[in-house]
Amino acid sequence: MIVIMKHNASAKNIADVISRIENDGYRAHLSEGEERTIIGVVGESPTPLRAENYSTMDGVDKVVRVSVPYKLASRVFHPNDTLVPLNGCQMGGDRILVIAGPCSVESREMIIETACAVKEAGATALRGGAFKPRTSPYSFQGHGEKALQWMAEAREVTGLPIVTEIMDPALVPMVTEYADVLQVGARNMQNFTLLNAVGESQHPVLLKRGMSSTVKDLLMAAEYILSHGNTRVMLCERGIRTFETATRNTADINAVPVLKQETHLPVVFDPSHATGKWEYVEAISKAAVAAGADGLIIEVHPKPEDAMSDGRQSLTFKRFEQLMQNVRRVAEAVNRSA
């Protein structure tokens, strides 16, 4: 349920509604927009919520039942876009922000070299995996903390903030020491212990959609993080599994406008995992931006043919630079910049 206040509702009217919600055993979520204030009711309580008790209170315009199960993630609860600060910019703002870097951090030299190249081409943040979720236990699993230290060095050299995956709730203290953004990978989107841990950390999170998850599942996963008061959440569409085998996954472009309508959280698109082949990465990046994505996360490698993971979908520095130039033109066509 949400309580929509009148334009001229006083601070006391708002405080009275919040007290009533709390006395009924629920939590109040305040969203103060330019036009009006909306108070969301979240949580469970044995006391039934009676809309008529609230609609007659002073300053209340109307009370609306919300049928979606995600509340804090819903645009109904929070009509204004959430902006997540990243390197002096804001994910969710007018500028399309690009996060770029290798799938895995392979050495100190390669991450610093890649950071310099993607920064030069216009990236806002550096990605790179230190802990890798691999389908096979025999594949390269990442260099762990050493890789995080190399990324921190790359940040010192370039100023680019670090986006890196966390797989284990026990590693939150270690990974937050180095990372600016915690990535929750597709395979862990419904690891609820991890979602609670990154929520509690109050660190910015990039939450990737599970390859077999619905948009609703993604929003419910975001709700876990938001329920800890961590509002710096970015959602990431990275392709879903379908019967199609021509590409690694199927880029769900539909998810972009659906998410932009359903939630106030910024939407990032990952064309690398969505396609699995570097040849298609630029086309899908442009499609995502045209569809309304707020950001892109793209795999870039100094020598994709030698990569320890995801070389097939990784762009060379030169191809990434070209992509940035062409994405910029699409961004301008939809009244944004990149």
End-to-end CA distance of the chain: give it in Å, rounded. Answer: 38
Q: Which does 24 bind (CB under 5 to 8 A by kind): Mn ion, ligand PEP, none?
A: none
Q: Which is nearer to ligand PEP, 72 or 123 (CB)?
A: 123
- Which residues here bind Mn ion, judged by CB under 5 A? 103, 310
Closest separation in Å from C-beta 208 to ligand PEP? 4
Q: Which does 72 bind (CB under 5 to 8 A by kind): ligand PEP, Mn ion, none?
A: none
Residue closest to ligand PEP (Cβ): 185
* 129 vs 143: CA distance, rounded Å: 8
Closest separation in Å from C-beta 216 to ligand PEP? 18
- What is the helix (H) or strand (E) element at residue 76, kind and residue range? none
Please, which residues have CB within 8 angstroms of residue 254's CB and are 6 or more apart in sequence?
Answer: none
Are the beta carbons of 47 and 25 closer than 8 angstroms?
yes
Closest separation in Å from C-beta 91 to Mn ion? 20
Q: Which is nearer to ligand PEP, 133 or 302 (CB)?
A: 133
Please, which residues have CB within 8 angstroms of residue 165's CB and are 6 or more apart in sequence?
Answer: 129, 130, 131, 132, 133, 182, 183, 184, 185
Q: Which does 133 bind (CB under 5 to 8 A by kind): ligand PEP, Mn ion, none?
A: ligand PEP
Helix 255-262 to helix 215-226 angle, to the nearest 10 degrees? 40
* 338 vs 331: CA distance, rounded Å: 6
Task: Give per-residue burial for 9-48: e unless 16+ CB within 10 Å, then b.
Answer: beeebbebbbebbeebebbbbebeeeeebbbbbbeeeeee
Closest separation in Å from C-beta 55 to Mn ion? 50
Q: Which does 40 bind (CB under 5 to 8 A by kind): ligand PEP, Mn ion, none?
A: none
Residue closest to Mn ion (Cβ): 103
Are the beta carbons of 40 and 29 closer than 8 angstroms?
yes
Closest separation in Å from C-beta 250 to ligand PEP? 13
Please, which residues have CB within 8 angstroms of residue 56's CB and are 6 or more apart in sequence?
Answer: none
The neighbour count for residue 139, using CB atoms within 10 Å, is 13
Q: Which does 208 bind (CB under 5 to 8 A by kind): Mn ion, ligand PEP, none?
A: ligand PEP
- Which residues here bind ligand PEP, judged by CB under 6 A? 103, 129, 133, 185-187, 208, 238, 273
Are the beta carbons of 267 and 209 closer than 8 angstroms?
no
Q: Which does 295 bind (CB under 5 to 8 A by kind): Mn ion, ligand PEP, none?
A: none
Q: Tell me 302's DSSP state.
A: S
Q: Which is nearer to ligand PEP, 40 or 142 (CB)?
A: 142
Q: Which is nearer to ligand PEP, 78 or 208 (CB)?
A: 208
Closest separation in Å from C-beta 103 to ligand PEP? 5
Q: Which is nearer to ligand PEP, 122 or 311 (CB)?
A: 311
DSSP letters for 261-311 = HHBSS-EEE-HHHHHSSHHHHHHHHHHHHHHT-SEEEEEB-S-GGG-SS-G
Q: Which is nearer to Mn ion, 262 or 310 (CB)?
A: 310
Structural tokens at position 209: 């959609």
Q: Which is nearer to ligand PEP, 273 or 286 (CB)?
A: 273
Q: Which is nearer to ligand PEP, 77 or 224 (CB)?
A: 224
Closest separation in Å from C-beta 272 to Mn ion? 7
Q: Which does 232 bind (CB under 5 to 8 A by kind): ligand PEP, Mn ion, none?
A: none
Structural tokens at position 87: 């390197």
Closest separation in Å from C-beta 34 to ligand PEP? 36
Q: Which does 155 bind (CB under 5 to 8 A by kind): Mn ion, ligand PEP, none?
A: none
